[in-house]
Structure 1
Amino acid sequence: IKAMAKAHMIKLAGIALAANMTPTRVAQQLSNDLYRLICPGLAKQGVEIDTDIEYRVGAFFVLAVNIKSIDWVKLMAVTYSQLENRRELWQKKREVRREAKREARCLQDKASQEKHLCRVKNFHLTRFEIIAQFLAWLHFFHWSFSVSLCKFIYYFFFS
């Protein structure tokens, strides 16, 4: 969720700066967009939040986000489908690379470097990717077990 919000902020800030806006206007537009757009985006994933602009002066703003409720079953299902889509995309890219290697044999050094980069990329997960994978695994368990485990972890480790 946090990574999506960061990516959205960066995209909006880039668009605003490309339109020759001042930093103050960028901050105002970004805070307004986040205030309006975060709630519906997270509602699709089962997270209900309240947002409010607490402070906005010049190029600075503070956006308050209060998590009201989390539909854990929906969040696990959405996370599982996102990871499955990502996994399918990786498999397609891997097949394209294999075909390209078969057609044009490259130097062994370059191929070994690419293999190493793929291994590093696939096996060094960020904290958010680990949480997403955990939620996707919980999607396979009965909802009573997985929801209670999610609530326990959320309230004791993330609150």
Structure 2
Amino acid sequence: MTAYRFSYHRVVRPTETEPHLRFKNEPLLDIGLLNKKNGKIAKVMTYIDTGSQWCLFNKQYAFELGIKNYDSVKPHIFGGVGGPNANTAYFHDITLLVYTEPNNLNQATAIRVDTKVGFCSKDFGFGGILGVCGFLDHFIFTANIPQCYFMLENIL
């Protein structure tokens, strides 16, 4: 098994409600979404979210991948930070391209994960969220917050 190291994105976040919070380390990862039916790829800045059960993306990426009627499949209503019934996702078969070289988004060297992802009816703060089912269940995720990096080790 090979482990890949990625830097956290440090975001300065002093606010009136959280004056003690000088910065936040965000586990952001550039990935590709591949629609194997037509070969279209969308590159997305994603947030690795260990608290999310699913991989979720803004609906604009469904359109980029040529999925015109993304909402023609069974809807899945879910809650989260926005409370119950906060959003609706429509799940489709997609291949995640996990780029192993952060400065070289090359699909030839990417780890491919065939999975179902949800395209959401309401947009949220990131292009996508990588959750447990379909992403973290394929990797060992190790966080080293003091040294500002995280590791992904492919287990499949």
Same fold (TM over 0.5): no
- Give the structure with higher Rg (CA): 1
More helix by share: 1
More contact order relative to length (CA 8 Å, sep ≥ 6): 2
The TM-score, its normalising length taken from structure 2, stands at: 0.22
Structure whose residues are more often strand by fraction: 2
User: Please, what TM-score do these two structures have when normalized by structure 1?
Assistant: 0.21
